[in-house]
Structure 1
Amino acid sequence: MAREDEIYSMEEGGAGRGAPNSPEVYAQVCSSKAAVTTAQKFIAEVIGTYFVIFAGCGSVAVNKIYGSVTFPGICVTWGLIVMVMIYTVGHISGAHFNPAVTITLTLFRRFPLWQLPLYIVAQLMGSILASATLAGTLNVTEKDFFGTVPVGSNGQSLLIEIIITFLLMFVISGATTDKRAIGELGGVAVGMTILLNVLVAGPVSGASMNPARSIGPAIVKHEYTGIWVYVVGPIIGAILGAFAYNLIRFTEKPLKEIARSGSFFRGDDRDDVLRG
């Protein structure tokens, strides 16, 4: 505790073992466990988001330019890259890769508020870097834009984005934040949800579900048509999805009273499945 007080005092410019601006003070502060952990999370989110956007948006660009990926291939690519990166850095940063997810987890007190800006900056940075990489390595013309633009009306795309992000956050809440779930399968569940959402909603709205996924390509290619849809829609959908899962997360009633008919959960050994 004394050590933490000393570091806090140094961070605030107070007296320590050395002068406030001495190399010794900065070395002690930067080597603290909290600082290193935060830096690792930031880097993990940048790298994770980078490769999610690089592979996902890259499949879109390559398919438009060369026609070799196909739409089902794009869907599979999005699902696989999200799943792979969850298992790669999920134990370091939580593998958000999505400002809507981070904001929602913060609102429901499952993520510290002070880290929220850091994560959003990391996610946007990763998306912009990946988009710049694609734009610089592929011959991306205006018709080959790999971002998201509403195919129909803005209202139609907004509704679609809310629905599919609702499903995504509902799955994330159930598969990764509930201790009763099989945690090892969380990455598979989230990745497959992304795949299904892109398959269904991709032709309509581009199936963003992620403000960073849309903002990065928009900034790099200067294409902002309907960009607000991909910021507002995913955030609303994610909040509603988490709220819906929290309604059913805990109950003191036995399962047989909740689902008296039509349920395959029958039997006394499953009565306590939904108990908190």
Structure 2
Amino acid sequence: MADSLSVNVGSLHNLELDAKQAKTTTNEAKHFASSIQKAIAEFVGTYVLIFVGCGAALVNERFPITVVGIAIVSGLALTVAIYSVGHVSGGHFNPAVTIALAAVQKIQFKLVPVYVVCQIMGGTLATLTLKVLYHNKVDIGVTLTQYSNSTSDLEALLWESIITFILMLTICGVATDHRGSKELAGVAIGISVLINIIIAGPITGASMNPARSLGPAIVSGNYKKIWVYIIGPTIGAVFASVLYTFLRVTKPTQQELPYITCEIP
């Protein structure tokens, strides 16, 4: 009787996959961004976002581009910032986003204060730059996120929480989930900002970002109702990230392949 030699093709394939994964992990470790690089990326990205967003608000005072124009410019600015330096730091550019991701352990807690400080600094410097460049041509106060007396504090808080919830849910779906389309993440996140500003911009200014509100407040010295723009976005972002943990499917550690046995006479 002829002897049979069994070859486990699945095992061999798994060994090849393990070797490739180990090599990839080693290469990634060599090119892993440092905390300083991440901090600088967050500073620069937030600066770009708020410089362009607040700049659009200033332009609107002289050459009306309406809330739709401001929304488009702000959404595109975030998209540009994400694709420019988002791969370095994760592309938060928003203290509420950073806190929300830390709450579900998607970012190390030790990076939270570093990110938040850099984001606020980026927003403040961006507003200060606009103030210097525009001189007295336009009042920098128009960049403040405020709401009228007809809107109560609770209503403004709910508005900011809801629109930030939408933004954060988009971020979780396209950027933190392995099933999402990460190539289009920047576009999707930018669009979420665009639609939120169109809906809520005329009511609260549609901040969705404590750094966006704190920057102009620090430069102008006007902190009226600033707590709404800190607490509201943070609540909305954290709620969205926690909710998405229940929608997330655990990524398999390795693909299970069928074991094929070949018999050689």
Same fold at TM > 0.5:
yes
Q: Deviations over 1:193-236 (max 9, x none)?
A: 00000000000110000000000100101111110000000000
1:34 & 1:77 partners in 2: Cα distance?
33
Q: Secondary structure at the match of 1:109?
A: coil
Higher relative contact order (CA closer than 8 Å, sequence separation 6+): 2
Report if the CA contact (8 A) 2:50-2:126 is conserved. yes
Report if the CA contact (8 A) 1:45-1:96 is conserved. yes
Q: CA deviation at 1:144?
A: 4.7
* Counterpart mapping for 1:43-82 below 5 A: 43-64=40-61, 66-82=62-78
Report if the CA contact (8 A) 2:53-2:70 is conserved. yes
* Counterpart mapping for 1:114-129 below 5 A: 114-129=110-125
Partner of 1:183: 182
TM-score by length of 2: 0.78
Taking a change above 3 Å as real, the CA distance of residues 233 and 130 of structure 1, as seen in their structure-2 partners, is same
Q: CA deviation at 1:34?
A: 10
* Counterpart mapping for 1:78-97 below 5 A: 78-97=74-93
2:140 & 2:240 partners in 1: Cα distance?
34
Report if the CA contact (8 A) 1:61-1:140 is conserved. no
Q: CA deviation at 1:140?
A: 5.8
Report if the CA contact (8 A) 1:127-1:212 is conserved. yes
Q: Which structure 1 segments of 5+ residues have no match?
A: 1-32, 252-276
Report if the CA contact (8 A) 2:33-2:88 is conserved. no
Partner of 2:221: 222
- The question of 1:238 aligning with 2:237 is answered yes
Q: CA deviation at 1:36?
A: 6.9
Q: Secondary structure at the match of 1:133?
A: helix
**What is the total number of aligned residue pairs between the two structures?**
218
Query: In the alignment, residue 145 of structure 2 is paired with which amino acid?
Result: T
Runs (4 or more) in structure 1 with deviation over 4 Å come to 33-36, 140-144
Report if the CA contact (8 A) 2:144-2:213 is conserved. yes
1:36 & 1:160 partners in 2: Cα distance?
36
Q: Secondary structure at the match of 1:145?
A: helix
Partner of 2:133: 137
Partner of 1:264: none
1:190 & 1:145 partners in 2: Cα distance?
25
* Max Rg structure: 2
TM-score by length of 1: 0.75
Taking a change above 3 Å as real, the CA distance of residues 36 and 164 of structure 1, as seen in their structure-2 partners, is closer
Identity %: 47
Partner of 2:249: 250
Cα RMSD over matched residues? 1.8
Query: In the alignment, residue 221 of structure 1 is paired with which amino acid?
Result: S
Query: In the alignment, residue 105 of structure 1 is paired with which amino acid?
Result: L
Partner of 1:37: 34
Partner of 1:207: 206
Q: Which structure 2 segments of 5+ residues have no match?
A: 1-29, 251-265
